[in-house]
Structure 1
Amino acid sequence: MLLIVGPPTISLGHNKKASIMKKVLIFTSIMSSISLACYGADDLFDEGLWELSPEELGQIRVTSIASGTPTPLDKAAAVATVITAEDIEKMGATELDDVLETVPGLHVNKSFQAYFAKYTFRGISGSTYNPQALLLINGTPLTTLAIGNRYTIWGGMPVKSISRIEVIRGPGSALYGADAFAGVINVITKTARDIEGTQVGAGAGSFDTYSSWVSHGSKSGDLEIGVTLEYTDTKGQDGTIEEDQQSAFDTLSGLNDSHAPGEVNLGRQQAEAHLDVKYKEFNLRAGYQGRYHVQTGAGVAQALDPEGEYKSNRALIELLHTNKDWFKDWEISSQISYFFGEQDPTSTSVIFPTTFGGAFPDRVLAEPGYKEEHVRVQVSSIFKGFDQHIVRAGLGYFWGDVFETTELKNFLQDPDGNLVPNPGGFEEFADKDEVWLPEKDRTSHFVFVQDEWQFSENWLLTSGLRYDHYSDFGDTSNPRVALVWATTDTVTTKLLYGRAFRAPSFLELFAISNPVSLGNPNLDPETIDSYEFAVSYQPNNDLSLSGNIFYYQIHDFIQFVDNKAENAGKRKGRGFEIEASYRFNESLTASGNYAYQRSTDEDTNTDVGDAPNHQIYGKLGYDFSKDFFLTTQINWIGKQERIDGDERDPVSSYATVDLAVKRRNFVPGLDLSLSIRNLFDKDGFEPSPGPAAAIPGDLPLPGRNIYGEIAYNF
């Protein structure tokens, strides 16, 4: 599919010396890489591919997320989106979530807990924790075993280290395993080639936001080193929660303990570090994400808490090796990685700011925490010895351990789930039966095979199957089939099928004595089957149009019902997405997309809610010169229905308009930029959980905010 931001892609018609599908096979043969990182335009030019000019090559959009091998976007075996660092720069985005909101069919909802981002693909909204969306960094999952998401203390991700973002809308378990359920997001960080030199910069903006960064890339012989360091400190937006869970308690008891009306608490500090070292056939990558003094948003239990704070530390190191010379027609790649993550309180969370009539003299307090570590080993191969085939196969092993689960608290829960005072007061429950989550581990191993077969001049069939075995859930097999037809010189047609599987997280299975979420050891895994039909049309290098329709069925979807995890039954969804891009001249470009979805519960035939049925995005960019550009964009989110049993009116639609301007080399080496988000200061809200509606007025989004940057390049 075509890009929704930036210039149109190059047309790959028959006039380029070979059939369209033949070029796709040549392209993927040249560019195959287990690392899921794409070559730049200069690398393609060095290969002499199609004898295109460097300028033309620079406009080719390539994705590797769809099949594991880089492929022109409109020929990829999935409905995919690619966003580059240049696109991010031009839209003035400072956070990953700002970028993802431009992807058709993907909406960034907010959780009440620390405003954790929920990546909602095609109406698959999931629970508070959003485990159905898989986030990769350089192809390695950032999923926690404990909760199943990217850590509740996610805190966002700044963008200075990002080279490109690739997104699949739809299941990806045939390549990425059981967590690639509703969609896959792969964030590819910058290498030495992307950075080329040294840049230092600083920024400041609304909500007392301050940031700084430094990046450096260098090459000496066969050694390439790229490093990016970023730091941000912000108080977060100042939206107001009018009523919360404590407000309801106050109404019943006649007390006045709630902090509502009050500001949502979104202060945080964050540090980001990424290192990429390449030497011949070896690639060492390391990353660190630190989040400190992260406030609790609308509260851990939907009661405003200006006191609670948490920290999260995540570190990943991986070594990759790729060899093309060991065997004829074979490329062998291997990867080993180690991940460590922790989430701990730095200030006691006030779960409920009341004594409940003296039962809790110090209010209801808790300090939950945990650590976990993962080891992944994978070997993959690409065989190109068959005529008209590229065969990819691999196997791997995963071990994960959740350990040192800790919890200081002054409450317990009775069999009916009601909070009762702990006889020992505020005490540590680590290694006790009442700790919020017991320590657990999980292992799995997998094997997969995929074939890309050009069985006719303009037809390419990609088929694959992945088998996973889990130590606690047994076996799962997930197939995928993608038929791509170069219908004419300007039209490409796709027919896609995929299945995905998701094992419950440890929190969904084992959480106990928890006022927010209780586990259920009898849960079954979730499964989804998805069907898609897509068409893209590109008559020239200035105009691109595309569209797709989709249908999916979900079995055993996991939700929290009355705070307890349950397999909520069957869901089905359908919808379509349309994208367009047009270049009026060398300076002016426009792009946009529209997405519609309806996801329903098959038992009640009602909308599952908590996701917009309609989304519209549009962008207009004007380049005064290669170093001076202005971009404006509009993002309209349609109304969001409530979940079954929630009697509130739907969440109203809202629209935001953003403006960004950048001047590179204002003086030699000095760059200046300014962005304004929500230019017209429009109100917007994301749904608070129902059906009890502890926060009846929903979760407010930021008003108008301004951010400026200055950077110097050495």
Structure 2
Amino acid sequence: MDSLSKLTSIILGISCTFTPPTVAQEDLFDASLEDLLATEVVGVSKTKQLISEAPANVAVITAEDIARYGYRNIAEAISRLPGIAITRDNTYSYGGVRGMTSDNANYNSRFLLMINGHRINDGLYDQALIGDESIIDIHTIERIEFIKGPGAIMYGGNALYGVINILTRSGRQVDGTELRVAAATNDGFSVSQISGGESETGLQWTAQISHTEVAKHDQSNDYGHYSGRGRHTKAMGQLIGDNFSVTMMMAEHQLKNSEWWTYDGADYTASIPEKTRQLTLGGEYSWSLGNKTALVALGNINRFYDDYSIYEYGV
């Protein structure tokens, strides 16, 4: 039996922000203590501020960290942080903190996932997708900010375990085209391309597309065989001007768990196919009200589609 679910959510918001002077961010591993304290974060109070002044426990993972350690998705990146535990069910990745875990019972709904200030938790399961099934490719990320602990006062109920705030690379930071190809012995491979630049008028643009096929899990024993496979395609486009930004992200994930086993002399097979699609369109516009004050309007449209088939048995 098949079930089909679709949901579209629209979120609009206006806020007044105070922006302190900016400080250039250096490589965190080579930086001094003073440089580390001068690192900027955005997610704590929804405006730029020094990490030493942020009223929260914040950890920052940079693009340099991602390249150095070869992280393939958000889950792998945040798993290095103290107090974070990542588990998988061969299809999705789940995060936990301080001995409290997430699983397929709460769909990672106790984390709030944000990209460029826009809420990305889908409106159907309220889940934060952080593994290969995430909407964003790891190579488009400039910085991941993880704000530990409950943040319901600022962000609402999803922020029980913490807030994962992602900032993407701008066209100025990409400045050209990058192509990455990877392959694995489990019949998996990944291709990722990102391009970006800046026009003479100062308009920055970024375009990215990636495709990954991975044999997530393959196991056999005396009683049968189990395999879980995934196919993930992602795309992103972004425009950044002097006082506005527009970001569009799309992703399609095809997941299939299959197994066969022998019982009482008969062979049985089962399959659980699933296809999900997610589309997010977010925009931001700001009006300067003074030297350090701005009025910011945010808009976000999020569409999630889930086609899930329950066990299909065969003999």
TM-score, normalised with respect to structure 2: 0.78
Partner of 2:153: 174
Q: How much has 1:223 moved relative to structure 2?
A: 1.2
1:330 to 288, 293, 300: 293
Higher strand share: 2
Partner of 2:120: 142
1:122 to 98, 104, 112: 98
- What does 1:653-692 correspond to in 2, within 5 Å? none
**Aligned partners of 2:231, 2:154: CA distance in 1, in Å?**
35
Structure-2 change in CA distance of 1:177 and 1:201 (3 Å): same
1:296 to 254, 257, 279: 257
* Identity score, percent: 20
Question: Is 1:210 matched up with 2:189?
Answer: yes
**Aligned partners of 2:241, 2:137: CA distance in 1, in Å?**
27
Structure-2 change in CA distance of 1:154 and 1:340 (3 Å): farther
Partner of 2:281: 317
Partner of 1:29: 20
Q: Aligned AA for 2:228?
A: L
SS at match of 1:99: helix
Q: Aligned AA for 2:162?
A: G
Structure-2 change in CA distance of 1:153 and 1:100 (3 Å): closer
Q: Confirm or deny: 8 A CA contact 2:244 2:286 kept in the other structure.
A: yes
SS at match of 1:87: helix
SS at match of 1:185: strand
Structure-2 change in CA distance of 1:278 and 1:305 (3 Å): farther
Q: Confirm or deny: 8 A CA contact 2:282 2:299 kept in the other structure.
A: yes
Structure-2 change in CA distance of 1:323 and 1:117 (3 Å): same
- What does 1:28-47 correspond to in 2, within 5 Å? 28-31=19-22, 41=25
Partner of 2:50: 72
Structure-2 change in CA distance of 1:279 and 1:74 (3 Å): closer
**Aligned partners of 2:256, 2:130: CA distance in 1, in Å?**
11
Q: Confirm or deny: 8 A CA contact 1:133 1:182 kept in the other structure.
A: yes
Provide the alpha-carbon RMSD of the alignment: 3.1
Question: Is 1:350 matched up with 2:311?
Answer: yes
**Aligned partners of 1:59, 1:190: CA distance in 2, in Å?**
22
Structure-2 change in CA distance of 1:312 and 1:305 (3 Å): farther
Structure-2 change in CA distance of 1:328 and 1:72 (3 Å): closer
Q: Aligned AA for 2:172?
A: R
**Aligned partners of 1:123, 1:68: CA distance in 2, in Å?**
28
Q: Aligned AA for 2:306?
A: Q
Q: How much has 1:59 moved relative to structure 2?
A: 9.4
Q: Confirm or deny: 8 A CA contact 1:192 1:218 kept in the other structure.
A: yes
Structure-2 change in CA distance of 1:217 and 1:60 (3 Å): farther
**Aligned partners of 1:154, 1:305: CA distance in 2, in Å?**
26
**Aligned partners of 1:298, 1:109: CA distance in 2, in Å?**
21
Q: How much has 1:126 moved relative to structure 2?
A: 4.5
Q: Aligned AA for 1:350?
A: Y
Structure-2 change in CA distance of 1:297 and 1:163 (3 Å): farther
1:89 to 56, 59, 67: 67
1:98 to 58, 69, 76: 76
Structure-2 change in CA distance of 1:212 and 1:80 (3 Å): same
Q: How much has 1:75 moved relative to structure 2?
A: 3.3
Q: How much has 1:324 moved relative to structure 2?
A: 1.2
- What does 1:326-475 correspond to in 2, within 5 Å? 330-345=293-308, 348-350=309-311, 353=313
1:237 to 202, 213, 217: 217
SS at match of 1:67: coil
After superposition, the C-alpha distances for 1:333-374 in whole angstroms (9 at most, x for unaligned) are 0011111110114xx5426x4xxxxxxxx68xxxxxxxxxxx
Comparing both chains, which one has the higher relative contact order based on Cα–Cα distances under 8 Å and sequence gaps of 6 or more?
2
Q: How much has 1:91 moved relative to structure 2?
A: 0.5
Q: Confirm or deny: 8 A CA contact 2:248 2:281 kept in the other structure.
A: yes
Structure 1, unaligned stretches of length 5 or more?
1-26, 32-38, 43-52, 243-258, 354-361, 364-714
Q: How much has 1:151 moved relative to structure 2?
A: 5.8
Structure-2 change in CA distance of 1:151 and 1:57 (3 Å): closer
Which protein is bigger by CA-based radius of gyration? 1
After superposition, the C-alpha distances for 1:201-235 in whole angstroms (9 at most, x for unaligned) are 21112311111121111111121111221111122
Question: Is 1:199 matched up with 2:147?
Answer: no
Q: How much has 1:74 moved relative to structure 2?
A: 3.6
Q: Aligned AA for 1:92?
A: G
Q: Confirm or deny: 8 A CA contact 1:66 1:77 kept in the other structure.
A: yes
Partner of 2:11: none
Structure-2 change in CA distance of 1:127 and 1:199 (3 Å): closer
Q: Confirm or deny: 8 A CA contact 1:153 1:291 kept in the other structure.
A: no
